[in-house]
Amino acid sequence: MTEEQQVENNNPEENQEASDLVVAGKVSSWLSENDFTNEPLAPDHSQIELIKVEPDFLLPIATALYAYGFNCLQCQGAYDLGPGKELVSFYHLIKIDDNVTSPEEVRLKVFLPRDNPKVPSVYWIWKGADWQERESYDMYGIVYEGHPNLKRILMPEDWVGWPLRKDYISPDFYELQDAY
C-alpha cells in the first residue's frame, strides 16, 4: 500500500468530501468555457447531466444551448422540495440530429423562492413550453414572465391556491357548478 493510499484510508471525512464533489459534465463545461454562469449537479439515475441555473441566467443559457444544438424541449415541469422550501422549475432538453438512436440530453433546474417564484418563459425559444409552463403555473404558482398566455389550464380560473404545493390545504368542500 502506498503512502497516499494509507492517508486516504486514515481520513474518512476527506474521502467523503472528495466523493461529494460533482464533476462538470460536457454541457456544463461548455457553458463555463463560454462564460455562462452555472452549477453542475450530480447526474440523475439515468446519468443525464443536471445543471443548476439562476433565474436571471435562464434565458441566455437556454438560448446558448439552443444554438449549441439542443433544439427540442422534451419536458418542462416543476416540483416542490417541501413545505417552506424552494420550488424547482426544470427543463429537459434533447439534441436531435442525425444520431437519433442516442440523442444527447441535459436537464436544467431553476430553484425559486416559495414566496415569489418568478422565472423567464422559454416559450420564445421552444414553443412546446406553452402548455407545460401553464401547467406548472396552475399547479405550483410559478410565474413564467413573458409567457404569452399564462393562465390556469387545469383548475377553474377562480381557484384559490396551488394544488401540488406540499403545503397546500385542500378546501373541505367544493361546489359543482353547471353539473346538469
Domain-located, residue 60: yes
* Over residues 80-88, mean pLDDT: 95
Task: Please state the domain count of the chain.
Answer: 1
* Over residues 27-47, mean pLDDT: 93
Domain-located, residue 13: no
CA–chain centroid gap for 75, Å, is 10
Query: Between 167 and 172, whose confidence is greater?
Result: 167
Q: Is the confidence at residue 18, as pLDDT, over 70?
A: no
Contacts 24+ apart (CB under 8 A), 11-17: none
**pTM of the entire predicted model:** 0.83
Mean predicted lDDT score pLDDT of the chain: 87
Q: Give the domain CATH number at 105.
A: 3.30.460.80
At 9, the pLDDT band (50, 70, 90 cuts) reads low
Distances (CA, A) of 117 to 18, 88, 113: 33, 9, 5
Domain-located, residue 8: no
By percentage, how much of the chain surpasses pLDDT 70? 83
- Domain holding 94, by residue range, is 18-145
| Per-residue model confidence (pLDDT) at position 10 | 58
Q: What is the DSSP letter of 49?
A: E
* Over residues 46-64, mean pLDDT: 96
Residue 90: what are its φ and ψ, rounded to 5°?
Answer: -120, 155
| Per-residue model confidence (pLDDT) at position 24 | 85
* Over residues 21-39, mean pLDDT: 90
Grid cell of 79 as nine digits: 416540483
